[in-house]
Amino acid sequence: MHIVITGGAGFLGARLARTLLQQGRLSLAGAPPQSISRITLVDRAAPPADLEADARITAATGDLNEQLARPEAAFWREADAVFHLAAAVSGECEADFDLGMRSNFAATHALLERVRALGTKPVLVFASSLAVFGDSPEQPLPKVIEDHTLPTPQTSYGIQKFIGEQLVADFTRKGFLRGRSVRLMTVSVRPGKPNGAASGFFSGMIREPLAGLRAACPVPDATPVAIASPARTIEGILRAAEATDAEWGPRTALNLPSLPTTVGDMAAALERVAGKAAGALLDRTPDPAIMRIVKSWPGHFETARARALGLAADRSFDEVVREYVRENPDAIKLPGVA
């Protein structure tokens, strides 16, 4: 089996690749599991060293739109499954409209057209976002987002992701591919450096204090957030690829499970795991631009459809923080944290 991951050198893409390599096999849409012989990672950046060293990994380095335009790129023709994770993130898309449209809309459309031309109907999993739901005075969100709640995006990023969902649904309806769109929750705690996402501080407010560094916490403590750990996020992405058509159900995107919490509760969990010295490193200076984006996102989901697929949310944010500590011991510099 050959798998293509766009955004494959990024945090989630690399984690997905490692998980697939460790499993060694994958069942697509209910078919018998097949051995994974090759994974192509498409990204602007080179893969992490551990992945680059694996003989099953091939890197296609460069802009996704340019990679899709290359007729000689044979790896597209050989793909049994495509995980489309590449995207410009929320803050970038608000700051640069053209970047978002090129990276999120045009690239997704070009990818679907490239897959359509294969004629092989591969499984394609599209990483959408909770940002397809947005609150506004004209159309307030319900207190709980359910599987049938109408998306009402309030950012360019959310709109671009919703367009992607609809394109995947229609290409699936026409029989060009077997598309599965999953709406990712706010993933925390992400290791590594901050990115341009408006949600980036949800990881930074945990990651940086654990490294002994100050971190921005630019929204009020009462701000709600729907959290999913990296492990639960990868579980959801893989389950989307594995589910039979009957299990998957409608072509609409799937809301992945989330842990409902608040920024204040996250800060409290940080202190419970790492002590008051960690909490003292949080900078509570408000950022109106971040607040404007984040406050429009929902914080509570009821995900019956995901539960029917066997997916579950994290049990507590304390456990999420402890999972990050266990997985990233070299990044923990604050004394007394283990």
153 and 218 part of one domain? no
269 and 323 part of one domain? yes
- Annotated catalytic residue 324: no
63 and 145 part of one domain? yes
pLDDT tens track, the chain, 338 positions:
999 999 999 999 999 999 999 999 999 999 999 999 999 999 999 999 999 999 999 999 999 999 999 887 778 888 999 999 999 988 899 999 999 999 999 999 999 999 999 999 999 999 999 999 999 999 999 999 999 999 999 999 999 999 999 999 999 999 999 999 999 999 999 998 877 788 899 999 999 999 999 999 999 999 999 999 999 999 999 999 999 999 999 999 999 999 999 999 999 999 999 999 999 999 999 999 999 898 889 999 999 999 999 999 999 999 999 999 999 999 999 887 86
Domain boundary (210, 238, 255) is at: 255
In this predicted structure, what is the pLDDT of residue 335?
Answer: 85
162 and 286 part of one domain? no
172 and 24 part of one domain? yes
Whichever domain contains 97, its CATH number is 3.40.50.720
In this predicted structure, what is the pLDDT of residue 76?
Answer: 86
Number of structural domains found in the chain:
2
Tell whether 246 is covered by a domain.
yes
What does DSSP say about strands 259-262 and 224-228: parallel, antiparallel, or unpaired? antiparallel
SS3 call for 168:
helix
In this predicted structure, what is the pLDDT of residue 202?
Answer: 95
Whichever domain contains 320, its CATH number is 3.90.25.10
305 and 284 part of one domain? yes
Catalytic: which of 126, 133, 157, 171? 157
d(CA 161, CA 156): 9
- Spatial contact of 263 and 199, defined as CB atoms under 8 Å apart: no
Distances (CA, A) of 247 to 18, 168, 228: 26, 18, 22
Tell whether 293 is covered by a domain.
yes
Tell whether 191 is covered by a domain.
no
pTM across the whole model: 0.95
Dihedral-angle region of residue 30 (phi above 0 means left; psi in -120 to 50 means alpha; beta otherwise): left
Tell whether 163 is covered by a domain.
yes
In this predicted structure, what is the pLDDT of residue 85?
Answer: 98
154 and 99 part of one domain? yes
Nearest to 178 by CA among 168, 186, 188: 168
Tell whether 124 is covered by a domain.
yes
Residue 67 lies in domain: 2-184+230-255
